[in-house]
Structure 1
């Protein structure tokens, strides 16, 4: 990274440093550093300041991944994608200036629910927002590849924000073969070592919808080997409390063949989503 500049709203270049911010309480702890609540001194604008230690990034050999993450996220503008306003660095640390999502991690909100799951109406709202955000990403040739509750935040109004683009790629045409993401959310093509494309994100939506409604991912098992096997066979079992509409949406997304998965437009228009969000319609 050879610059610590970012565009402000007037289109001029702004050079940031730690002196521009009043740093407050910690919001969370990441693998390579911490996230803090912060306020820009002049405008009083509230942000989340993510501090990463260069030594830890180098040790894990992920500097290239961070560069790619910054490049991708800084260029995305969507109401359900967390804004990356800019970044700067000093001798030992890299700082990302991020949009502040007041309700925090969706994962923690999910865990705090009765029975550890959301009702169908709330799930439908999140799945719609997620699908619209991923549709925007795919239109920009960005594949996310690591959709899971830990990588999603909620803002003050309770709207969903995709927050972590660490495994994302800008992939205009080629198929990719990197095994990445989190085991419970990996699609069959990744598990089986085949090439993959943006359809991996469709599978993740299906897994997420299932976890929102049931409290755990559909292929979760005692061992990694067992999880791999279940994913590869699409060994999908639904609890009895799920409505036929929810089961239909999930089973249309969790298809072994990437080509057979319901596309994002289809998710947004699915009768169950429409019914949940427009009960009178």
Structure 2
């Protein structure tokens, strides 16, 4: 794949790591999403990044965004992936709990698949969870390339607001840190705002480290009493325990730490239940298809046969108009 074959159409969004475009691939006729990232790196590092990205061709999961290829043009890398016409979850603001249940199933399955390949996501957040009108939910922008992750970190200064406390503190991290990011992401989607009121993410998720010190120092936020079902509250509480080893994690064979770049020659099949991988007593965190569907919640309207596909609750979400941005009052 090369730039001569790409026809850029619309700008889909600007992230802290680059700009994403909707594009047309002339030879295949496919519509793509192309993320373009400016990097001030050597030719040798460019080659290393391209080598590390090779593992993306081997990722085969319906919960992970499809990868078509990548290329460098001068100091820009373009990463070409599957286009998801519903966009990312961050634009929908507050999402009903019964819809979040379906989304959680897909996201946990996607993470578990990555962990089974010894790949940490490293950047779990609503803007990296994509939906389409077929009702599918897929993860994108996971940290398969250590060199790319490090190069972006050097180019775009700031700390990710969804990072676990141990990552903000500069400590060793692993699967448990992805789990924290999962919990804080779903709490935000449930509340329609970031769980720490003193942190306002108006300009993206990267911000000065000192503004995130509250995540390290304060107790974990909790959901309002009586507004959510017990299983959903349990899910969030387990994910957002301050001590990493008290959080659920993936199966033992998925164990991987920050020192592991996530590049392996083979991986075991993913398991779709998140269970503890340590001796601390924690109830296994199961994401069942009907999880979090509290009593009295209406079944989403099915307007056509296509809506009845697996994941159709998410199809309804993708057809919703995004909520207007909140008005911040001082």
Q: What TM-score range do you get, normalising by the shorter chain?
A: 0.7 to 0.9
Query: Are the aligned partners of 1:27 and 1:36 in contact in 2 as well (CA < 8 Å)?
Result: yes
Structure 1 residues 49-69: Cα deviation after superposition (integer angstroms, max 9, x where no partner): 3334xxx41079x95895477
Q: 2:39: which partner in 1?
A: 57
Structure 1 residues 193-237: Cα deviation after superposition (integer angstroms, max 9, x where no partner): 321111111111111121111112323425964642344443323
Query: Are the aligned partners of 1:234 and 1:254 in contact in 2 as well (CA < 8 Å)?
Result: no
Cα distance in 1 for residues equivalent to 2:51 and 2:177: 19
Q: State yes or no: 1:20 paired with 2:9.
A: no
- 1:251-266 matched pairs, under 5 angstroms: 251-264=237-250, 265-266=273-274
Q: State yes or no: 1:157 paired with 2:134.
A: yes
Greater mean alpha carbon deviation, residues 153-162 or residues 69-78:
69-78
Q: Which secondary structure state, in structure 2, belongs to the residue aligned with residue 121 of structure 1?
A: helix
Q: Which secondary structure state, in structure 1, belongs to the residue aligned with residue 161 of structure 2?
A: helix
Q: Which of 288, 293, 307 is matched with 1:276 structurally?
A: 293
Structure 1 residues 123-158: Cα deviation after superposition (integer angstroms, max 9, x where no partner): 111111111000000000001111111222222324
Q: State yes or no: 1:70 paired with 2:30.
A: no
Cα distance, 1:189–1:30 mapped onto 2, change above 3 Å:
closer
Q: TM-score, normalised by structure 1?
A: 0.73
Q: Which secondary structure state, in structure 2, belongs to the residue aligned with residue 125 of structure 1?
A: helix
Cα distance in 1 for residues equivalent to 2:71 and 2:85: 23
Cα distance, 1:185–1:49 mapped onto 2, change above 3 Å:
closer
Q: Which secondary structure state, in structure 2, belongs to the residue aligned with residue 29 of structure 1?
A: strand
Deviation at 1:41, TM superposition (A): 2.2
Query: Are the aligned partners of 1:40 and 1:46 in contact in 2 as well (CA < 8 Å)?
Result: yes
Structure 1 residues 223-281: Cα deviation after superposition (integer angstroms, max 9, x where no partner): 9646423444433232131222221111111112222212352476257953629999x
Q: TM-score, normalised by structure 2?
A: 0.63
Deviation at 1:103, TM superposition (A): 1.2
Q: Which secondary structure state, in structure 2, belongs to the residue aligned with residue 202 of structure 1?
A: helix
Structure 1 residues 96-141: Cα deviation after superposition (integer angstroms, max 9, x where no partner): 2211111112111x23xxxxx1111111111111110000000000
Cα distance in 2 for residues equivalent to 1:262 and 1:26: 37
- 1:1-281 matched pairs, under 5 angstroms: 16-31=1-16, 33-52=18-37, 56-58=38-40, 67=50, 70-91=53-74, 93-108=76-91, 110-111=92-93, 117-166=94-143, 169=146, 182-222=159-199, 225=210, 227-240=212-225, 241-264=227-250, 265-266=273-274, 269-270=286-287, 273-274=290-291, 276=293
Query: Are the aligned partners of 1:35 and 1:50 in contact in 2 as well (CA < 8 Å)?
Result: yes
Cα distance in 1 for residues equivalent to 2:78 and 2:26: 16
| Superposition CA RMSD, Å | 3.6
Aligned residues: 248
Q: Which has the higher contact order (CA 8 A, sep 6+)?
A: 2
Cα distance, 1:119–1:36 mapped onto 2, change above 3 Å:
same
